[in-house]
Structure 1
Amino acid sequence: MKNIFKYISLAMFAGLLLVTSCESVELDLAGNPNELTPDQSSPDLFLNSIQTDFATFTELMSWNGGDLVRISYLNGRNYQNIANYAPAQLNLEWNIAYQGDNGEVLASGLEVNGILADIRAMAPVAEETELFHHTAIGQFIEAYTMVTLVDFFGDVPYSEAIQGDAETPILNPNVDSGASIYDAALQLLDDAIANFERDVVTEPANDFYYGGNWDNWIKAANTLKMKIYLQRRLVDPSAVDNFNAIVTSGNYISESSEDLQFRWGTNAVQPDVRHPRYADNYTPSGGVDYLPNWLMNYMNINEDPRTRYYFYRQVNAVPGEEVPPNEETLACSLEPTPQHYTDGGFTFCTLPNGYWGRDHGQNAGIPPDGFTRTVYGVYPSGGKFDDSSFKGISVGSGGAGAGITPILLASWVDFMRAEVAMLTNPTAAKDLVLAGITKSVAKVTSFGTLDSGADLSFAPTQGNIDNFINNIDTLFTNADDDGKWDVLAEQYFVSLFGNGIDGYNFYRRTGFPTTLQPNLEPEPGAFVRSLNYPADFVNNNSSVDPKPNQEVQVFWDTNPAAPTFPPSN
Structure 2
Amino acid sequence: MMNYFKFIKTTISIGTFILGLSSCEEFIDINADPSNPTVPETNLLLPATQLAIVGNFDGVNRGASAVAQHRASGSLNRYNQTGATFESSWIGFYTEAIPDLETIILQGSVEENWGYVAIAKLQKAFLFSVIVDLWGNAPYFQVATEPDPVFDDGAIIYEDLMTLVDEAMVDMERDFNVLSSSDLFYQGDRGKWVKMANSLKLKLLLQTRNVDPAASRAGILELLENGEFINDNEDDFTFLYGSNTAPNSRHPWYANGYSTSRDGYMSMVVVDRLKEQDDPRLRYYIFRIDENAGLANSQVGEGYYGRYPGDGTSSPADLTTRAITGLYPAAGLYDNGVIPSLTEDNIYLNNIGAVEGASSNSFINALFVNGDGTGAGVQPFITNCMVKFYRAEAALTLDTGEDAGELLRQAVESHFETINEMSTSFPVSPESVQGFIDRLLEEFDAADDQGKMEILMMQKWIAMYGNGVESYNDYRRTGLPELEPLMAPLDVFPERYFYAETEMTSNQTVLGDREQIQRNQQITPVFWKE
So what's the TM-score if we normalise by structure 2?
A: 0.84
- After superposition, the Cα gap between the structure-2 partners of 1:427 and 1:116, relative to the gap in structure 1 and judged at 3 Å, is closer
CA deviation map 1:331-366 (0-9, x unaligned): xx9xxxxxxxxxxxxxxxx9x532221101112222
After superposition, the Cα gap between the structure-2 partners of 1:12 and 1:204, relative to the gap in structure 1 and judged at 3 Å, is: closer
For the pair 1:282 / 2:258, whether they are aligned, the reply is yes
Q: Which has the higher helix share?
A: 2
User: What SS is found at the alignment partner of 1:361?
Assistant: coil
Distance 2:288 2:77 in 1: 29
Q: Deviations over 1:48-87 (max 9, x none)?
A: 210111111332222222211112225458855x1xx311
Does structure 2 conserve the Cα–Cα contact (< 8 Å) formed by 1:58 and 1:407?
Answer: no
The structure 2 residue matched to 1:418, chosen from 392, 410, 417, is 392
Match of residue 99 from structure 2: 117
Q: Which residue in 2 is equivalent to 1:298?
A: 273
Given candidates 504, 518, 524, the residue that maps to 2:472 is: 504
Instruction: Tell me, yes or no, if structure 1 residue 405 matches structure 2 residue 354.
Output: no
Equivalent residue letter for 2:429: T
Paired residues of 1:197 and 1:214 also in contact (CA < 8 A) = no
Aligned to 2:505, which of 530, 539, 546? 539
User: Judging changes above 3 Å, is the alpha-carbon distance between structure 1 residues 386 and 260 closer, same or farther for their aligned structure 2 residues?
Assistant: same
Cα RMSD (Å) of the superposition?
Answer: 2.9
Q: Do the aligned residues in 2 keep the contact of 1:286 with 1:371 (CA within 8 Å)?
A: no
User: Paired residue for 1:92?
Assistant: 88
Q: CA deviation at 1:175?
A: 0.9
Determine if the alignment matches structure 1 residue 359 to structure 2 residue 308. yes
| Corresponding residue to 1:473 among 441, 444, 464 | 441
Determine the C-alpha separation between the residues in 2 that align with 1:557 and 1:202: 38
Q: Which residue in the other structure is 1:132 paired with?
A: 114
**In the aligned structure 1, how far is the partner of 2:102 from the partner of 2:268?**
43
Shift of 1:8: 5.9
- 2:198 and 2:223 in contact (8 A); partners too: yes
Q: Which residue of 2 aligns with 1:370?
A: 319
In structure 1, C-alpha distance between the alignment counterparts of 2:19 and 2:178, rounded to whole Å: 19
Q: Structure 1, residues 149-207: CA drift from partner, whole Å, max 9, x if none?
A: 111111100111121xxxxxx22110111111111111111111122233356646421
Could you say which residue in structure 1 is the equivalent of 2:430? 462
Deviates most, 134-143 or 10-19: 10-19
CA distance in 1 between partners of 2:438 and 2:21 (Å): 52
Equivalent pairs, count: 483
CA 1:77 to 1:42, structure 2 compared with 1: closer, same or farther past 3 Å?
Answer: closer
Q: Distance in 2 between matches of 1:490 and 1:276?
A: 26
Corresponding residue of 2:344: none
Paired residue type of 1:382: A
Offset, 1:248: 2.4
Q: Which residue in 2 is equivalent to 1:555?
A: 527
What is the CA–CA distance in structure 2 between the aligned matches of 1:75 and 1:226, rounded to whole Å? Answer: 32
For 2:233, the equivalent position in structure 1 comes to: 256
Local SS of the residue matching 1:197: helix
Take 1:19 and 1:461, find their aligned partners in 2: how far apart are those partners? 38
Shift of 1:300: 2.0
What amino acid sits opposite 1:370 in the alignment?
L
Stretch deviating more after TM superposition (293-302 or 15-24): 15-24
Contact kept, 8 Å, 1:421 with 1:429, in 2: the verdict is yes
Q: Partner of 2:345 in structure 1?
A: none
1:267 has 2:257 as partner? no
Counterpart residue number, 1:58: 57
Deviation at 1:438, TM superposition (A): 1.1
1:518 aligns with 2:485: yes
2:451 match: 483
AA of the residue aligned to 2:467:
N
Match of 1:246 in 2: 223
Which residue of the partner structure matches residue 181 of structure 1?
A: 157
- 1:209 and 2:180 correspond: no
Say if 2:495 is the partner of 1:529.
Answer: yes
Deviation at 1:483, TM superposition (A): 2.6
CA displacement 1:3-57 (0-9 Å, x = unmatched): xxxx963379399849975958xxxx99xx9xx9x72652222112101111113
Deviation at 1:210, TM superposition (A): 1.1
Distance 2:229 2:402 in 1: 23
CA gap of 1:551–1:423, structure 2 versus 1, over 3 A, is: same
Match of 2:66, SS state, is helix
1:493 aligns with 2:465: no
Decide whether aligned partners of structure 1 residues 478 and 123 sit closer, same or farther in structure 2, where only a CA change above 3 A counts: closer
- Equivalents in 2 of 1:202, 1:461: separation in Å? 39
TM-score, scaled relative to structure 1:
0.78
Whether the 8 Å contact between 1:130 and 1:200 is mirrored in structure 2 is no
Compared CA separation, residues 205 and 20, structure 1 to 2 (3 A): closer
* Counterpart residue identity of residue 261, structure 1: T
Distance in 2 (alpha carbons) for counterparts of 1:121 and 1:497? 34
Greater shift, 39-48 or 216-225, is seen at: 39-48
SS at match of 1:318: coil
Q: For structure 2, list consecutive stretches of 5 or more residues without a partner in the other structure.
A: 1-7, 338-357
2:134 is aligned, of 130, 148, 152, to: 152
Distance change in 2, residues 1:9/1:279 (3 Å): farther
Q: Deviations over 1:231-282 (max 9, x none)?
A: 111112311221122122241112212111111111111x211111111112
Indicate the SS of the match to 2:476: helix
- 1:513 maps to a residue whose letter is P
C-alpha contact 1:233 1:240 (8 A) present in aligned 2: yes
More displaced stretch, 138-147 vs 232-241: 232-241
| Equivalent residues of 1:288, 1:370 under 8 A apart | no
**Cα shift readout 1:193-227 (whole Å, capped 9, x = no counterpart):** 12223335664642111122111101101100011
Counterpart position of 1:563: none
C-alpha distance in 2 between matches for 1:78 and 1:405? 21
Alpha-carbon distance change, 129 to 69 in structure 1, aligned in 2, over 3 angstroms: same
Q: Hey, what's the Cα distance between the residues in 1 that align with 2:302 and 2:390?
A: 34
**Structure 1 residues 476 and 16, CA gap change in structure 2 (3 angstroms):** closer
Q: For residues 309-388 of structure 1, what are the structure 2 equivalents within 5 Å?
A: 309-319=284-294, 329-330=297-298, 353-388=302-337
Identity %: 27
Aligned with 2:209: secondary structure? Answer: coil
